[in-house]
Amino acid sequence: MKNSLILLEKVFARYDKIIVLKNIDLEVFNGLIVVVGPNGSGKSTLFKIIAGLLKPIAGRVRVLNFDPFVEIDKVSKNIFYLPEKDVIPYNAYVDDVIDSLREIHDPGLVDQYIDLFELSKHMSKKVGELSQGFRRRLHLVEALSSNRKIILLDEPFRGLDTSSRTLASEAINYASRRDNCILVSSHIISRLDPNRVVVLEDGTIKYNGRIEDLKPEGCIILERGDEQIKVCGDELRNTDLSNYRIKTVIC
């Protein structure tokens, strides 16, 4: 049986006194896995735990069969974590950032993503002079060209317009066909083609499986105020969960 790349068993996590993840069981193999859920559902916390940046208060975590909080070096060299917020310094020049990426990653792969995200015409600018969407494109070049065994993308579509989002989705789909695992957290799946979907709400996993298995009778019931809607199967791809509560999942 193939070993899992990520394994979480009975994981609990908190910020201050608030429990933000509750009894999480999750096993991840190769491919593209999308974690969806409303704001505050625990998506970023889950990613920080996998990246070894936040230690849970209970439970077992294994990444590439290592403990990410003990065998840090063995995990960190095989994982890339792209947080929701910008991390590339605003005063850096884009061409200097790209040169650095070519030195540490496959230069051909870097150039491939530069062309895909149409960054060539912005090379002489400082990162802070880029629009939010182009800054996010630059971060995605860094993440996807890293070719790490595990790539974590926390809200990678933040600030992207429709065309940029399409480009990013195609790039992520393409990158996930390599022998690796890409986890994406998002409010909406859109054009992504994931192997599995994990639905988080209020710190718990409401659903973990294929989109296809959510239809015809499998549905997610969403609530916002007095409004209630039912989302089944592929409808989940185009439903923005950010301002809804997930009442239940019927499978």
Q: What is the pLDDT along the chain (251 residues), one digit of tens a residue?
A: 467 899 999 999 998 788 999 999 999 999 999 998 878 889 999 999 999 999 999 999 999 999 999 999 999 999 999 998 889 999 999 999 999 999 999 999 999 999 999 999 999 999 999 998 899 999 999 999 998 999 999 999 888 888 888 889 999 998 998 888 999 998 777 788 899 999 888 899 988 988 777 655 557 777 888 888 877 777 777 777 777 777 666 54
- β-pair type (58-63, 181-186): unpaired
Question: DSSP code of 12?
Answer: E
* Cα–Cα nearest to 214, from 242, 234, 200: 234
pLDDT of residue 32: 95
**Hey, which residues does 26 pair with through a beta bridge?**
8
pLDDT of residue 214: 64
The backbone torsions φ and ψ at residue 13, rounded to the nearest 5 degrees and listed phi first, read: -145, 155
For the entire predicted model, the pTM comes to 0.86
| Residue located via tokens 């790209």 | 98
pLDDT of residue 247: 65
Which residue ranges make up each domain of the chain? 6-250
Question: What is 6-250's CATH number?
Answer: 3.40.50.300
- Give the integer Cα–Cα distance in Å for 236 and 230: 10
Tokens for 117?
């995200």
At CA 47, angle to CA 65 and CA 151, rounded to 5? Answer: 70
| Residue located via tokens 């480009």 | 167
